[in-house]
A and B are shown apart, each in its own frame.
Chain A
Amino acid sequence: MSKCGRTHLLEAMTAGEVPAPLETELRAHASSCARCRHELSWLDSEQLLFRHRAGRDEVQHLWRGVEARTPVLRRPAINRALVGLAAAMLVLLGVGRLTVSRANGASAAQSPSTDDDELQSINELMFMSSEDPQSSCSRLTPGVGFTCGSPQSNVLASR
C-alpha cells in the first residue's frame, strides 16, 4: 500500500467514486510518485482480474428453483387492467340478461300460451328428463318430502 497517504483516494478513484478533476490530479500525481504508481497498478490489476471473471455464468435455469421455493411467484402474471375489464364485462352481461329476461316476461304476459307443448317443455326443464321421472326424485320414502313421480299433481295439490 502506498505510504504517500493517498491510498484511500486511489482506491476510491478506481471504484469510480471520485469526481473527474480529482481523478486527473491523482493520476498526474501517480505518474511522478513511485509509491502511488505501484498502488495504482495493483488497483487497476485487481479491477481487471475481477472484471474478466464477470458475466460468464449461465444462471437462467436458477429461476425455476426460486419459483419452487416461492409459490406465489408461480402464479401467472395477471394484468390488473384485464381483470378489471373482465369484471366490468361480466357486470354488463348480467345487467343485459336481466333486462332481456324482464322484457321477455312482459311480452309473454301479453300473449299467454296454453299450448301443451309449452307445458311439456317447462316440465322437462323443471325435472330434467321426461322419460325417467324417477331419476331426479328424492330418495326419501314416498310421502316424505318432495316426490317427483307425479310432479304436476304435486304442484297442483300445493296450490
Chain B
Amino acid sequence: MLRLLQRTPAITPETPDEALVGRAQNGENAAFRALFERHVVSVRRFLRDLLRDAHAADDSTQESFARAHAQLPKLTERDRFKPWLLGIARNVAYESRRVRVHDVFDTDTDGDEGDVPDAVIPSPNPEALLLNRELEAHFNQALSSLSENRRAALLMRLDHGLSYDDIAAALGWSIPTVKNEIHRARLKLRSLLSPHLGGSHE
C-alpha cells in the first residue's frame, strides 16, 4: 500500500531520456508522451528529409512512435533512446518507400559522387548563408540528391547530432562505413551548394 501511495516524480524538461524510458517501460504513459514531445520534431524532420513527402512523413512519424512504444521493453541502453528511435524511423521510412507506387528515391545510388575533387569546391560566403527560401530549396534539393542510406547517415550526424557510434548502431553499419558515407555525402552536398553560397577558392 505504501508503495502505491508513493508520489511519482514530476516530469520536467530536465528529466533525462534515460529516466523517462525507464518510467515508460514501467507503463507510465505520461513518460512516453514526454519522450514523444521531446523527439517528435526531430523524427518528423528526419522522415521528411528521407521521404520527401509531408504526408508520408507524418504517417511514418506516427508509426515510428507506435513501434517504439511496442518495442520499448526491449531497449536496454536507455540513454540511447534517440539513436534507437531514429533507427526505427529509418526502417519505417524504408518500408514506406517500398510500398509507394512511384519510387522517387535514390537518384544517386552508385556512391561515386564522393569523388568530387576537393579543390574545386570553394569556401562558402558567410553572408550567403542568411537562409532564404531559394537557398533552402537548393539545400533540400541537394539533400534529396543523396542516396537514402547516405542521406540518413548525414542527417543523423549533422541535423540530429548523433555520434558515429550511435549512427553505426542505428543503421547497423561499421563505424568506418558510417564515416565514409558521411564524408562522401558532405562532398556531394558541398559541390551542389557552393554555386549558391557565393563561395571563393582559397
Contacts and interface: CB of A to CB of B under 8 A. Distances in A.
A65 to B, nearest CB: 3
A1 B186 CA distance: 9
B58 A48 contact: no
Contacts of A85: 5
A86 to B, nearest CB: 10
Interface stretch (B29-37, B77-85, B94-102, B105-113): B29-37
Contact of A63 (B36, B179, B183, B187): B36
Where chain A touches its partner, the secondary structure class is helix
Contacts of B179: 8
Interface in B150-184: 157-159, 161, 163, 179, 183
A1 B187 contact: yes
Contact of A65 (B29, B59, B131, B163): B59
Interface size class of B (residues with CB under 8 A): 35 or more
A144 interface: no
B6 to A, nearest CB: 7
A16, A47, A55, A62 interface centre (most CB from chain B within 10 Å): A62
25 contacts: A8-B179, A41-B123, A41-B126, A42-B190, A45-B124, A45-B197, A46-B186, A49-B129, A52-B131, A52-B136, A54-B159, A55-B41, A59-B61, A62-B44, A66-B69, A68-B62, A70-B69, A77-B30, A80-B4, A81-B4, A81-B7, A81-B8, A84-B5, A85-B5, A88-B1
Interface of A: 1, 3, 8, 15-17, 34-35, 37-38, 41-42, 45-50, 52-55, 57, 59-60, 62-63, 65-66, 68-70, 72-73, 75, 77, 79-81, 83-85, 87-88
